[in-house]
Homo-oligomer: A and B are copies of this chain.
Amino acid sequence: MAPLSTDSVDLDETPSATAHEMVYRILRARILEGALAPGTALTLRGVAEALGVSMTPAREAVRRLVAERALALTETGRVAVPIPGGEDLDALFTARALLEPELARRAAGRIEPEQLDRLRALDAEIGPAIERGDAGAYVSANTRFHSVLYAAAEAPALLALVESVWLQTAPSMRRVYAELGDQATDVLADFHLEALQALAEADTDALCAAIRADVLQGAALLRRTISGG
């Protein structure tokens, strides 16, 4: 139960002060940055103790993540970070490739200059994260880049679908980028820059293409890492 702490969770946007929501946010953030490796086992009492709450809110937060497929139950009711197979990951990236360009399309018309600045700032975080080999920071910043962009789409139902997919792929992607190490700079084309340029020029089609390429690059990278070992 080591990798659970309250720091680095965005407590600013915490409208609800309920315990189970706090537990949910912390666990979710840990999963999204890949801090919980695939296969990691969790226990309700462990989560509860680590976060200083009783079993009830821990249970609710964990079960919520199970419903979002971020966690999975064994046949006997135990909780663990799922280990998606190659086919599962293929399906998940297919979903991303279908849904994210649509979200980008909807975001293109509504994005505010302020949010565009935030995107630039997030993109600027990514390079350094790669260079210092911090896979967690990389995956995290990468996710937030997409998240901020899609928030502008004002399509919460679509965003929820995509976020469920992210939760399922993040633990595996963390491993991929960790194994990549310093080769990352060579292998990864920066489609985020293309996306930013397309946004600045209000070129919706180019934006969608950049996002799609970004997703497909992730899928290809994953496939390579799985088959290559």
Contacts and interface: CB of A to CB of B under 8 A. Distances in A.
Interface in A114-160: 154-158, 160
Nearest to A20: B63
Contacts of A156: 88
Contacts of A106: 91
A170 to B, nearest CB: 14
A64 B63 CA distance: 7
Interface residues of A, number: 31
Nearest to A169: B157
Count of identical protomers in the assembly: 2
B63 A157 contact: no
Contacts of A88: 155-157
Nearest to A105: B94
Contacts of A69: 157, 160
A157 B94 CA distance: 11
Interface stretch (A46-54, A95-103, A177-185, A188-196): A95-103
Contact of A157 (B67, B77, B91, B158): B91
B164 A161 contact: yes
Q: Secondary structure of the A side of the interface?
A: helix
A63 B23 CA distance: 15
A150 to B, nearest CB: 11
A92 interface: yes
A214 interface: no
A7 interface: no
A157 B60 contact: no
A87 interface: yes
A218 interface: no
Interface string A63-97: 11011110000000100000010011001101100
A26 to B, nearest CB: 16
A161 B161 contact: yes
Contacts of A154: 87
A164 B95 CA distance: 14
B95 A161 contact: yes
16 contacts: A18-B77, A60-B60, A64-B66, A64-B67, A69-B160, A84-B157, A87-B154, A88-B155, A91-B157, A92-B157, A94-B102, A95-B102, A95-B158, A95-B161, A98-B98, A98-B99
